[in-house]
Amino acid sequence: MQVIFLEGPLLALDPCALPANLSVVAPDVLAEFLELKRFEHGLKTPCWERKGDGQIRCLPYFSIIGAFEDDVQDLVNILQTFSTVRMGEQQTSSFWRQEDVPFSGYLDSFAATHAAMKDEPRIATMEADPALFAYTAAGLRGKPSKTTLPSLLKAVQPTLKLILVLRSPIDRMYVSYMKHACSGNVAPASPHAPPPPSPHAFHHVAQASIDKLRTCLKATTPRKCAGKHLYDSHGLAHGLYSVYLPEWLDYFNQEEMLILPVEEMERCQVPWPPMQDDTRHILRKFYEPFTEELSFMMDDGRFNWMN
């Protein structure tokens, strides 16, 4: 994406630098950006006035892209205490993962704060999507795509900042399972498993999910397996952080992407029943090479939760 700075923060975009197949994967996004010549001068948040009808359009200044809904919500709650941070009209956004959400509605969600920017130009708009980080392996706008999600986000908003909060993938899978099982959204792994939620039922779910991923990994790459089983492995594939991270780092450098271990945050703890030791053992054995790889990528031992 070619970025041209004019008069300080004024930003102009080259539509020709957008992904070549954008008209196929996201025609509404392409149509909007063909109308965009430059962002409004003097604002921290990227906003512009659309040609023709003069409608104000805004994008998020930064996005929390995952990787677990409770941690993302905790961070949103913290950031919303700052007067210069404004959330879009929706608490969470799934625009980049859903085919039937119009881009105009996505832009309108952030444009609602534009009036306040006249008095406080430092206002930064924020969006949050707990599943966005892992979704890069699944496709774009609800369908498979050769255009990666990070490349598209960087193309349509080259100044975007990202925040990623990671917790132990073992704990992530367990808490996610127990939370959704309690709400009735998780089915037992087999007819022989006791009804959820229970640590024993989770053991069956974990073992079945591990078997599914291991079978896939024997036949193809971790990325393809992650995309294939992102939504049918009870959260196991979501914890393959080292599989997803390289695609994000290809387009967002360390100054543009803040990655935090969840232990750095103060958060509310829900007292779920403890996981069985044998369950933790099989999950540790599965995740160990992936967390070691993540720790190496980050050059930070805090991200190797298996130690």
pLDDT single digits (tens) 121-158: 999 999 999 999 999 988 888 777 888 889 888 888 88
pLDDT of 216-258, one tens digit each? 999 999 999 999 999 999 999 999 999 999 999 999 998 999 9
Could you tell me if 182 and 101 lie in one domain? Answer: no
What's the pLDDT score for residue 18? 67
Q: Is residue 161 predicted with pLDDT exceeding 50?
A: yes
Q: Which residue has the higher pLDDT, 12 or 199?
A: 199
What's the pLDDT score for residue 27? 83
Domain boundary (166, 189, 205) is at 166
Could you tell me if 102 and 114 lie in one domain? Answer: yes
Could you tell me if 223 and 87 lie in one domain? Answer: no
Could you tell me if 151 and 177 lie in one domain? Answer: no
DSSP summary character for residue 255? T
Domain count, the chain: 2
Could you tell me if 127 and 87 lie in one domain? Answer: yes
Q: For residue 197, say if its preceding peptide bond is cis, omega within 30 degrees of 0.
A: yes
Tokens of 280: 């933790």
Domain boundary (117, 134, 166) is at 166
The strand ranges marked E within 40-194 are 47-49, 56-58, 62-64, 85-87, 124-128, 161-166
The answer as to whether 258 is a domain residue is: no
Could you tell me if 106 and 209 lie in one domain? Answer: no
Q: Which residue has the higher pLDDT, 274 or 89?
A: 274
Q: What is the pTM of this model?
A: 0.88
Helix (H, G, I), strand (E, B) or coil at 151: helix
Could you tell me if 174 and 97 lie in one domain? Answer: no
How distant, in Å, are the alpha carbons of 43, 222, 261 from that of 166?
31, 19, 5
Could you tell me if 103 and 148 lie in one domain? Answer: yes
| Of the ranges 7-16, 35-44, 151-160, 250-259, the best mean pLDDT one | 250-259
The answer as to whether 245 is a domain residue is: no
Q: Which residue has the higher pLDDT, 27 or 4?
A: 27
What's the pLDDT score for residue 15? 59
Could you tell me if 16 and 89 lie in one domain? Answer: yes
The answer as to whether 202 is a domain residue is: yes
Q: Is residue 12 predicted with pLDDT exceeding 80?
A: no
Domain that residue 176 falls in: 169-240+269-303
What's the pLDDT score for residue 185? 58
Q: Is residue 177 predicted with pLDDT exceeding 70?
A: yes
The answer as to whether 254 is a domain residue is: no
Q: Which residue has the higher pLDDT, 196 or 73?
A: 73
The answer as to whether 257 is a domain residue is: no
Could you tell me if 105 and 75 lie in one domain? Answer: yes
Mean pLDDT of 45-64: 88
Could you tell me if 46 and 143 lie in one domain? Answer: yes
The answer as to whether 55 is a domain residue is: yes
Q: What percent of the chain has pLDDT over 70?
A: 86
CA pair distance 169, 207, nearest whole angstrom: 15
Q: Is residue 11 predicted with pLDDT exceeding 80?
A: no
Mean residue pLDDT of the chain comes to 85
Helix (H, G, I), strand (E, B) or coil at 6: strand
The answer as to whether 247 is a domain residue is: no
Q: Is residue 172 predicted with pLDDT exceeding 90?
A: yes
What's the pLDDT score for residue 281? 98
Q: Is residue 304 predicted with pLDDT exceeding 90?
A: yes
Domain boundary (166, 197, 232) is at 166
Q: Which residue has the higher pLDDT, 229 or 13?
A: 229
* Phi, psi angle pair for 62, to nearest 5°: -145, 160
Of 102, 109, 138, nearest to 125 by C-alpha is 109
Q: Is residue 193 predicted with pLDDT exceeding 90?
A: no
Residue 29 · residue 101 · CB < 8 Å: no
Could you tell me if 63 and 7 lie in one domain? Answer: yes
The answer as to whether 230 is a domain residue is: yes
What's the pLDDT score for residue 3? 32
Q: Which residue has the higher pLDDT, 52 or 244?
A: 244
Q: Is residue 195 predicted with pLDDT exceeding 90?
A: no
CA pair distance 83, 86, nearest whole angstrom: 8
